[in-house]
Amino acid sequence: EPGNRNRLWYHEDVRQVLTENTGTSKIEGIIVKLPTIYEIHLSPKCFKKMKNLKIFINVNGRICGKVDYLPSELRLLDWPFYPSQYLPSNFTMKNLVELNICESPISCLGEGFKSLPNLKSLNLAKCEFLTKIPDLSGSPNLEWLHLGGCSSLDEIHPSIGL
């Protein structure tokens, strides 16, 4: 069973786990790389059982649907075209080192961004609906921030140091 492996990269296994909610705490890494472009319709709670997921990389998947939960163990979330306006409110990002949600409809970064002690890289490029960058002083290790193409951005907190 794909949900009992610790790494998933074969496209059919990835599709099954994300759409049928068959993931388990054994999964530590998922790479979405599809041979052809087709949509994956997420089960809203597809990540709920994946408590130990550390790496999620979406190379070319057209993933749609609501995300109700993301594991707090995530260190790398590389998800261009993230399908929602918000990250889940219960997403504790304390372990996150790299976050790439470029070209997403995200409009608000939320409370989870107040304390990201391990975050080094944040890519929000072309998030056209993003209006505000909050206080990132809780991210002392932030080395790289990409905001190019954020056409609705009208407020950047002074902690950014621009």
- Model confidence pLDDT, tens digit, residues 84-111: 999 998 888 899 999 999 999 999 898 7
β partners of residue 39: 62
CA distance 16 to 73: 22
What pTM was computed for the model? 0.93
Q: Is the pLDDT of residue 43 over 70?
A: yes
* Model pLDDT for residues 104-142, shown as the tens digit of each residue: 999 989 878 888 999 999 999 999 999 999 999 999 999
- Predicted pLDDT at 162: 61
Grouping H, G, I as helix, E, B as strand and the rest as coil, residue 123 is: strand
- Predicted pLDDT at 137: 92
